[in-house]
């Protein structure tokens, strides 16, 4: 099962445009009309994006020859950066030496920037790396602006179908008749791919989506793409038994400060449920701060390994965290990626939490963003990651302690089987603790 947020651009890879080091998921396997693209860990070095006062416009070329030359130069620039920088000198088995020659003719005839970057991302896709992908100049500008055009659908690949699992508040999808559990079939007559969604949404444009509703009827729904902030507010819920549910979808300073405040406020809570199922990663600094919130002292969490084999062993932040010491359950799944996967693995390694759900994305490569000459950007995987036991999360992910099957009927009924299992685990844990104290 794969999970994708339908973003506003074709082959779009999401990266939080924050400071220094970032472990963020890029989804080479697509887009989110809503907020982000899914999959992996990112080492982002700030300062790569330059301010832009307005959205880039489609270039006009003096001749076909000028277009051919300019577009092939962008493709070659991307190829050359990967050839020099990619973390795996074997390029994950791709025939990288011939990649430029095999794609240059297609790049030459691309009719727009979006089509050109489709070609670039097709070439980069041969690397099979969730942290390596390219953004068009417009997409890079939207990253800088921290907002983009969404129609508001969250799609999850389930039983060979694209199933709607959430609708973004404020979006046209949320204001339509569409509901979780509908099956998406096509957009503007173009069928959805099995493992990749190559769509771009432009602000103010309307796209006609075809769905199947729970009764099996086909429904055609026009959806307007609106520009909305990237920021997704965190979520807090309380149970009558005192357990606290906390959801945050990025490892970023505002989120980790929010989490620290919530843990401080509820330091006596009998249990915490952390929802990482939509968390695509974020800043390394935030990851290290969050780890500290669940341990009394600093802990090691793994190592980044360079192309040359240099190993950088990592530890959680120097500062003391909240040190919440009560029971913890973490909900994980295919939408948990990058630093969210590292965090889950750390909790599991130290037996600090019980993981419930499904395996994580398995995309944990540190990467950096590079500016291309035409204003686009390319993200390239630069370092592998090893866990504390020496294993790789890349391609493997983190396995839950308790695996829960995700079903279409649950989505349509509004039932969260993962959360139910987490509550049951806490009840059993509390009961066992009470008996031990008799």
- How far apart CA 173 and CA 153 sit, in angstroms, is 6
- Residue 411's pLDDT band, with cuts at 50, 70 and 90, is very high
Q: What is the percent of the chain with per-residue pLDDT over 90, rounded to a whole number? A: 65
- Tally DSSP H helices, then E strands, for the chain: 9, 22
**pLDDT value at position 107?**
97
Residue range 139-156, pLDDT digits in tens: 888 777 777 788 999 898
Contact 323, 292 (CB under 8 A): yes
- Residue 435's pLDDT band, with cuts at 50, 70 and 90, is low
> Hey, what domains does the chain have and what are their CATH numbers?
235-363+388-436 (3.90.226.10)
Residue range 311-324, pLDDT digits in tens: 989 999 887 777 89
Contact 400, 357 (CB under 8 A): yes
Tell me the mean pLDDT in the region 386-402.
Answer: 94
Average pLDDT, the chain: 84
- How far apart CA 399 and CA 413 sit, in angstroms, is 26
**pLDDT value at position 48?**
32
Tell me the mean pLDDT in the region 316-337.
Answer: 89
**pLDDT value at position 115?**
93
**pLDDT value at position 429?**
85
Q: How far is CA 206 from the centre of its chain?
A: 25
* Residue where the block lists tokens 């416009």: 57
Judging by beta carbons within 10 Å of its beta carbon (0-12, 13-18, 19+), is residue 58 exposed, middle or buried?
exposed
**pLDDT value at position 321?**
77
Contact 258, 312 (CB under 8 A): no
**pLDDT value at position 13?**
31
- Residue 194's pLDDT band, with cuts at 50, 70 and 90, is confident
State the pTM of this model.
0.81
* Residue where the block lists tokens 């068009």: 136
- How far apart CA 401 and CA 348 sit, in angstroms, is 8
**pLDDT value at position 437?**
59
Residue range 364-380, pLDDT digits in tens: 988 889 999 999 999 99
**pLDDT value at position 66?**
94
**pLDDT value at position 58?**
78
**pLDDT value at position 150?**
85
**pLDDT value at position 43?**
35
Tell me the mean pLDDT in the region 96-112.
Answer: 97
- In Å, what is the CA distance from 224 to each residue of 55, 109, 169? 19, 30, 14
Contact 394, 364 (CB under 8 A): yes
- How far apart CA 123 and CA 78 sit, in angstroms, is 9
More confident residue, 141 or 264: 264
**pLDDT value at position 348?**
97
**pLDDT value at position 423?**
95
Residue range 36-84, pLDDT digits in tens: 232 223 333 222 334 456 677 778 888 999 999 999 999 999 999 999 9
């Amino acid at each position: 099962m794969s999970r994708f947020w339908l973003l506003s651009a074709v082959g779009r890879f999401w990266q939080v445009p924050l400071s220094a080091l970032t472990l963020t998921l890029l989804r080479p396997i697509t887009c989110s009309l809503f907020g982000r693209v899914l999959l992996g860990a990112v080492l982002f070095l700030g300062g790569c994006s330059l301010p832009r006062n307005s959205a880039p416009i489609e270039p006009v070329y003096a001749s076909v020859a000028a277009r051919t030359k300019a577009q092939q130069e962008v493709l070659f620039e991307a190829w050359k950066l990967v050839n020099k920088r990619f973390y795996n000198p074997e390029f994950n088995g791709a025939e990288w030496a011939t990649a430029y020659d095999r794609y240059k003719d297609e790049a030459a005839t691309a009719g727009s920037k979006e089509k050109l970057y489709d070609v670039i991302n097709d070439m980069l896709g041969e690397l099979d790396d969730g942290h390596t992908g390219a953004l068009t100049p417009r997409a890079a500008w939207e990253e800088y602006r921290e907002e983009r055009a969404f129609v508001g659908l969250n799609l999850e690949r389930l039983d060979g179908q694209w199933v709607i699992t959430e609708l973004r508040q404020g979006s046209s999808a949320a204001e339509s008749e569409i509901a979780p559990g509908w099956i998406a079939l096509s957009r503007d007559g173009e069928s959805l791919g099995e493992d990749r969604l190559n769509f771009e949404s432009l602000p103010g444009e309307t796209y006609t989506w075809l769905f199947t509703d729970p009764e099996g009827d086909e429904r055609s729904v026009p959806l307007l793409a609106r520009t909305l902030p990237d920021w997704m507010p965190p979520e807090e819920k309380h149970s009558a038994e005192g357990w606290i549910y906390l959801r945050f979808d990025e490892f970023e300073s505002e989120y980790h400060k929010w989490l620290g405040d919530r843990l401080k406020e509820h330091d006596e809570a009998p249990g915490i449920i952390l929802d990482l199922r939509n968390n695509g990663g974020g800043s390394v600094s935030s990851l290290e701060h969050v780890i500290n919130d669940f341990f009394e002292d600093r802990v090691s969490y793994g190592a980044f390994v360079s192309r040359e084999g240099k190993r950088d062993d990592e530890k959680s932040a120097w500062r003391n965290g909240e040190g919440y010491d009560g029971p913890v359950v973490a909900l994980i799944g295919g939408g948990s990626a990058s630093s969210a996967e590292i965090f889950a693995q750390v909790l599991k390694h130290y037996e600090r939490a019980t993981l419930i759900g499904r395996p994580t994305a398995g995309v944990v490569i540190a990467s950096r963003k590079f500016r291309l000459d035409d204003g686009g950007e390319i993200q390239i995987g630069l370092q592998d990651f090893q866990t504390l036991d020496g294993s790789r999360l890349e391609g493997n992910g983190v396995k839950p302690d308790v695996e829960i099957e995700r079903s279409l009927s649950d989505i349509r009924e509004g039932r969260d089987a993962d959360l139910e299992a987490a509550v049951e685990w806490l009840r059993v844990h509390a009961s066992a603790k009470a008996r031990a104290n008799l």
